[in-house]
Structure 1
Amino acid sequence: MRAGVLSDDQIIVFLNENFINTWVPNSELGRVPSLREPIAKRRERESKAFDTTHALAQAIMKGWKKYSPADSLVLSTEFELLGRLPVNERTSPYNGANGYLLFLTEALDGKLPGFREETAKPSLEPDSESLPELDAVSKDSNVKLTSERPKREVLNIFRAPGNGLQDYTVIEIDTTAFKSGGLLTIDILVGNAEPKGSFDLYDDDTELPTQGMPHRALASAWDVPPGKRGTIKYRFNRGKIFKLGGTGSRFSQKGSVNAFWAKISVEPHQEAETGKVSSPRPEQSAEDTMNAFVKAFKNLDSEGVLSMVTGSAKGTFESDFEGMPEDVRAQISQILSHIKILSSEYVGDEFHFRLRVPGGAPPEVSAKMRKVEGMWLIYEVE
């Protein structure tokens, strides 16, 4: 903090009521390169150790603004960074005594003043297009999609709550205008700050968890690395309100913050139906059939799946995905969205492949294909 604002009685009262206040010289934590060696020698001479690995020291050093001579930092009792105000950047709206009070208030409210500029506009991968300008992107936490405006873009931030916890930034998605349902697609780009992002889609009436696994999520995109993309797809039978929750991944440093940009869109049910996997054709390769099968399986497209299986394998997929209760469909969709192809190979006149289904029982599935009347079909699944 700066001595000037301490002449304001209102700020003094606010600080004393809400904070433990202290000064930490830059030199003690090695921020001044020319003083590192002299201070190290002084500590050695005086036999005074200084533990820079302590959580408080680490939080302070993490909060430093590059090239700033001094910073006002707000930390939580768990050493999470809540706000930063570099001494040379006390411009509007944080200038003067009232501005400093605003900075402190926003920090307590979880608005992360001083850190938002680092995460407000995440850059894309080098070979990708640039993000739209911020004034073309909604910063609102409520998104309403209609037939006239079936696509929206939002920009927000998330925070890593620590291993085993959830601390969602929530975006409400209103699709009630699509009476016959459709395919909800959420393309997500995570900013270039440190933490990975995990994103879960929920029904509006689902109480969001604060710890443990998000078992009631309809679909998810987990552990999306900084600067990378993730996608959530969910087919719904009638218009409704969803909640998209974004949080730092469980292995990211607690309290770290990043941004995310999401393009949210709905294909109306009639159009979404045309995107279903078509039946196999004689000219289709084994690899194409495998990929089409995985796509149909992920999308819970029972018609597409059954068109690619024969013999005993048909019994494995005889359930009608379209007729499932919504809650059962949501649970299965959550599992199937993470299917991955582990391996594939030609074995004589056949084509074999293995799939990994995280959370499935069993977690790995083997499938065998052979040509039936000139078309590659799956005849065995185990």
Structure 2
Amino acid sequence: MTAPAEGDARSTPLASHRTSRTVYAAAHVVADPRRNPGPGGPAALDWDATLAFRRHLWSLGLGVAEAMDTAQRGAGLDWPAAAELITRSAAEARSVGGPRAAGAALVCGAGTDQLPPGEHSLAAIRSAYEEQLAVVEGCGARAVLLASRALAATARAPDDYAEVYGHLLRQAREPVILHWLGPMFDPALAGYWGAGDPDTAADTLLRIIAARPGAVDGVKVSLLDTGREIALRRRLPAGVRCYTGDDFHYPELLAGDQLGFSHALLGVFDPLAPIAAAAVRTLDTGDVPGFRALLDPTVELARHLFEAPTRHYKTGVVLLAWLAGHQDHFTMAGGLHSARPLPHLVRAHRLAAGLGLFPDPELAAHRMRALLTVYGATP
């Protein structure tokens, strides 16, 4: 299968009001290779290329989930850079119709990553969340309350989570998206919601939502466990969405069943954007088999990009953005372009090429050969 070509009817933006699913692509950032300080230093971004990629996603009709883990939050993107990223992206969204207009939908991550690693008081954690929430809401965007490493390190019981999130939900100006990122994406988040057992953790999350359901737009679930995601979405209060963050099983979760479906907030929709947009347009017509025919063939690439250690999936995402011509280099904040071995990168190129994801296949092949040369491999 191939991605929609320029001029193909499938490449036109989504209609003003999507009739089937709300879809956000969690977008990567483009580092500035001339100023990148390497591991541990403050992030230096190429703002023109970073914002151009967001315009690319909006042009396809996808929403943008900004300053999420795909943008290397807590893994190369520090809070000052994330705050500037949120501010710039919100301004860019307004320039093309407003943060929640069709083609410029935007949600932004608010967390606690300005705090140093380790335990903190619950008051300090609340304050850190409030600082970031103020930046997001001050830009006119809707917030995703990111899972907090500081809270995971500090909380001693589910009630600690209920206290922090209850406080935030009471003061949020607009409904927020809650963020449940499994330990395969970030080992520091093991036992989130106060329990090592995901089913017990889900009970706590649902109790937090039930206390203020009107303050919650939805829950972003990244557990790579279809059964648990489906069980959770069936228990959500009416009007609270389940946003799948499952980069292994997204076609079936979005397609849904007779009892419901998931919306999407996915890192894999960054490299898959043209196909993902075409698939959602097909789903809008009620053509579920056509939707699956477009999206199912992408799962092999997705599972490859997100293979263990899953947290390094961003390396493959940035590689494919470079090969597709969205940026001029294969460099990442914090030096994480080195996080995946060469055979992984080679297979990512091959699988993406097989899906027709490169607007200029010759450019992609040329850049891949150049990368092989740098590694000392025979092109």
More contact order relative to length (CA 8 Å, sep ≥ 6): 2
Same fold (TM over 0.5): no
The structure richer in strand per residue is 1
Specify the structure having the higher radius of gyration (Cα): 1
TM-score (norm 1): 0.23
TM-score (norm 2): 0.23
The structure richer in helix per residue is 2
